[in-house]
Amino acid sequence: MRRVAVLSVHTSPLEQPGTGDAGGMNVYIVQTATRMARRGVEVEVFTRATSSELPPVAELAPGVTVRHVVAGPFEGLGKEELPGQLCAFTAGVLRAEAHHEPGHYDVIHSHYWLSGQVGWLARDRWAVPLVHTAHTLAKVKNANLAASDTPEPRLRVIGEEQVVAESDRLVANTEVEASELVDLYAADPAKVLVVPPGVDLDRFTPGDRPAARAALGLRPDDVVLAFVGRIQPLKAPDVLVRAAAELLARAPGLRERLVVLVVGGPSGSGVRTPEELKRLAGELGVADVVRFLPPQGGAALARVYRAADVVAVPSHNESFGLVALEAQACGTPVVAAAVGGLPVAVRDGVSGLLVAGHEAGAWARALGDVATNPAYREGLAANAVGHARRFSWDRTTDSLLAGYAQARDVFREEVFA
């Protein structure tokens, strides 16, 4: 494998995860692309330019290039408006490739359905295989929609069906997602490859908990619950706020020590109501214990995980849940919704707890059981580190490269048959 073209239309790997459309997919692309480059594979990432100040080409890491493709206005264009710019984006991608000799890329890896639409055309023009990772699926998301969220449009459903049908390989995060692709999208099982995401085991490690708390202005004996991610109905941070109110109703004396950290920025339909979560905290009488922090990266994010007694991942749907892995790698137990890939990311009763549904009482019990019982928490914490170490970006990268090679070999056999 010499060169890989990575397509990420709606969000750049250079953006900070946790706000806007930047999230786990950004982390996935950065981590795998960087590791491919270390193995001698050249990676070019095509993404839409969102500012006139961005250079046409930027280096993400040695061997990893990010190309900013002009497609539509630089700013103020929501993800739901991007289908109208796919023609312009595709033209930019094809023009970039036209400057190279035929066969410059060995494979295309598209991320999210918008990129898959571009990859579909590039595949046919370049005569190379298309590998696609959905990251989220409209049919699954609509079946698990938060009460205040907006359903994914039929345009996306049709677009996903087309990409599934045209891809040479489909990368699923878990066996559950693989089944969804087959059962809901009629994917060919032989083309579905299960490759679990990883965690940066060098960055996310157990550390000095008192120092992490001191850096965040927390006291040593505070009971700290944390949410990390984009503030939108799909991620359900409101579940944590409601659970905190329920905890205090059951144990009023906890108010002096309880701190709820909400780390992230508005995204998706949450952009329209950025103050909604603060308003909810006020209505429930817990505004005094809820603290909001902007998205954190690198060492600062690891510090948040280490400072928390428990990290909550109450999403209505997650194809995997990288936050859960990162927190556990830092030695912090996770309480997560029993949806999507989270039962793989969290080992129920061993590295954390899984909660069926999103009822505040059930979440309060689970969070309280972990956060207010030091002995129980420490047992889960020790197991959490071991569980997280079963996942690594190196393993993910090796599996992807093997999948690329297999797709390339099969593609060549079919072309020259």
Binding residue numbers: 10, 16-17, 21-26, 79, 112, 136, 156, 230, 235, 296, 305-306, 308, 318, 326, 332
- Name the binding residues for Mg(2+): 305-306, 308, 332
Q: Any idea what DSSP says for residue 292?
A: E
- Name the binding residues for UDP-N-acetyl-alpha-D-glucosamine: 16-17, 24, 230, 235, 296, 318, 326
Q: Which residues contact 270 (CB under 8 A, 6 or more apart)?
A: 230, 231, 232, 233, 276
Residues 67-86 as b/e (b if ≥16 CB within 10 A, e otherwise) read bbbbbbeeeebebeebbebb
CA distance 91 to 109: 17
Q: Which residues contact 403 (CB under 8 A, 6 or more apart)?
A: 131, 169, 171, 193, 195
Contact in structure between 123 and 130 (CB atoms under 8 Å)? yes
Q: Which residues contact 219 (CB under 8 A, 6 or more apart)?
A: 213, 257
Contact in structure between 122 and 97 (CB atoms under 8 Å)? yes
CA distance 292 to 289: 10
Closest CA to 227 of 337, 117, 67: 337
Contact in structure between 130 and 168 (CB atoms under 8 Å)? yes
Q: Which residues contact 415 (CB under 8 A, 6 or more apart)?
A: 127
Q: Any idea what DSSP says for residue 235?
A: G
CA distance 122 to 107: 10
Query: Helix-strand-coil percent breakdown of the chain, rounded to 5?
Result: 45, 15, 35
CA distance 115 to 207: 38
User: What are residue 389's phi and psi, to 5 degrees?
Assistant: -70, -5
Residue 207: Cβ within 10 Å count: 15
Question: What is the per-residue DSSP string for 343-383?
Answer: HHHS-BTTTEEEESS--HHHHHHHHHHHHT-HHHHHHHHHH
Record the tokens describing residue 157, joined without a space.
Answer: 């459903």
Q: Within 13 A of 357's CA, how many CA atoms are on the CB side?
A: 8
- Name the binding residues for 1D-myo-inositol 3-phosphate: 10, 21-26, 79, 112, 136, 156
